[in-house]
Amino acid sequence: MSRILILGGTTEARALCSLLAARSIEAEVSLAGRVPGTDYPLPVRSGGFGGAAGLARYLREARIRALLDATHPFAAAMPWNAAEAADGAGLPRAMLKRPPWLPGPGERWRGMPDLAAAAAALPAGARVFLATGAGSLPAFASCRDCRFLLRQMTPPGPLPDHVEVLVARPGATAAEEAALLRAHRITHLVAKNSGGPARAKLDAARDLGLEVLLVARPLLPPGRLFARPEAALDWIEGLA
Ligand code: NAP
């Protein structure tokens, strides 16, 4: 029997899996393999496919009938691999991506096309809360006249001396985040426009009048795009 392949790694993918499982729609979820795929209500496969060609082979061999890309909005490669592999095989394909954050009143956001642009926009002497993950540090390597506070959930490896790490989860409320930003005398926040509920840091920056350098999402391939798991489910249910 042929099935649906969900490219996951997000809250939205997990929600869609629950909807599919509740309707007994045959499907499986694929994860990159960096975090354990526990607690999914569907079969999980893990690890890269080996580029678009590897994914095309998997789609054929696993008799996949449609592909739903529900990877994170900052996953830059997978949406294009999915487009090449599924479109090339004539398989139905759609994307599920949470909507980006939009600025509200009082917000001092500057849109940045990428991390390099954010690094170039930081003024000398800035004290920066870097909410873009440890992987983004190389982009800021030349900002020696700025200080960086990086929050991550695992202890760091060796770091340059203009970077301080806080091993912690994101704060749940704007008040909690504001207290952290104040304690570290932060002047700028650098964040990715991931969207979703975790915007307490942005609310805190607004409340403190801080400038936010918000990095835009990578470009998506053309194709059907849904913002909500329920809409993706409707699309799947409408497939022949
Ligand atoms: P990426 O740049 O699009 O992917 C890099 C490579 O990882 C892909 O070429 C693919 O390897 C493999 N891969 C990615 N997603 C996969 C999936 N769902 N199933 C199987 N292989 C996958 O993505 P990334 O930014 O490295 O993110 C990796 C995963 O973490 C994604 O699933 C994403 O949803 C999740 N995630 C990313 C972020 C973020 O900020 N980027 C945040 C939260 C969660 P092959 O070419 O070998 O197939």
CATH of 108-215, one of 3.40.920.10, 3.40.50.720, 2.40.160.10, 1.10.3720.10: 3.40.50.720
CA-closest residue to ligand 1 atom 40? 74
Which pLDDT score is estimated for 39? 84
Please report how many Cα atoms fall inside a 13 Å half-sphere around the Cα of residue 117, on the Cβ side.
12
pLDDT tens digits, residue range 87-136?
999 999 999 999 999 999 999 999 999 999 999 999 999 999 999 988 89
Measured in degrees and rounded to the nearest 5, phi and psi for residue 57 equal -65, -45
Look at ligand 1, atom 23, and give the residue with the nearest C-alpha: 75
- Write the residue with the smallest CA distance to atom 25 of ligand 1: 75
Residue 77 CA: nearest ligand 1 atom is: 3
Question: How large a percentage of the chain has pLDDT more than 90?
Answer: 89
Split at pLDDT 50, 70, 90, the class of 158 is: confident
Report CA(7)–ligand 1 centroid distance (Å).
Answer: 9
pLDDT of 240 > 90? The answer is: no
Tokens for 85?
């592999």
Residue 1 has pLDDT above 70, yes or no: no
128: buried, middle or exposed (CB in 10 Å: 19+, 13-18, 0-12)?
Answer: buried
| Cα(33) to centroid(ligand 1), Å | 9
Residue 83 has pLDDT above 90, yes or no: yes
Q: Which two tokens stand for residue 26?
A: 């045959």
Nearest-atom index, ligand 1, CA of 8: 18
User: Are the C-beta atoms of 78 and 93 separated by less than 8 Å?
Assistant: no
* Beta-bridge partners for 129: 149, 189
Query: What's the fold here for domain 3-98+218-237?
Result: Rossmann fold (3.40.50)
- Res 2: pLDDT: 85
Ligand 1 midpoint to CA 99 (Å): 19
Q: Closest ligand 1 atom to the C-alpha of 7?
A: 18
Common-topology check for domains 3-98+218-237 and 108-215: yes
Q: Is a pLDDT exceeding 90 seen at residue 178?
A: yes
> Can you tell me the distance from the alpha carbon of 58 to that of 123, in angstroms, rounded to the nearest whole number?
48
56 close to ligand 1 (CB < 6 Angstrom): no
For the Cβ of 8 lying below 6 angstroms from any atom of ligand 1, the answer is yes
**Ligand 1 center from residue 194 Cα (angstroms):** 14
**What are the residue ranges spanned by the domains of the chain?**
3-98+218-237, 108-215
d(CA 169, CA 172): 9
Crossing angle between the packed helical segments 229-237 and 11-22, to the nearest 10 degrees: 40
Q: What's the whole-model pTM score?
A: 0.93
Mean pLDDT of the chain: 95
H-type alpha helices, 10-152: 11-22, 51-61, 78-89, 115-121
For residue 71, how far is its CA from the centre of ligand 1 (angstroms)? Answer: 7
- Which ligand 1 atom is nearest residue 9's CA? 34
Residue closest via CA to ligand 1's atom 15 equals 32
Q: Which residues contact 156 (CB under 8 A, 6 or more apart)?
A: 134, 150, 165, 167
Answer whether 160 contacts ligand 1 (Cβ < 6 A): no
User: Which tens digit of pLDDT belongs to each residue from 14-60?
Assistant: 999 999 999 999 999 999 998 777 789 999 999 999 999 999 999 99
CA distance 42 to 236: 15
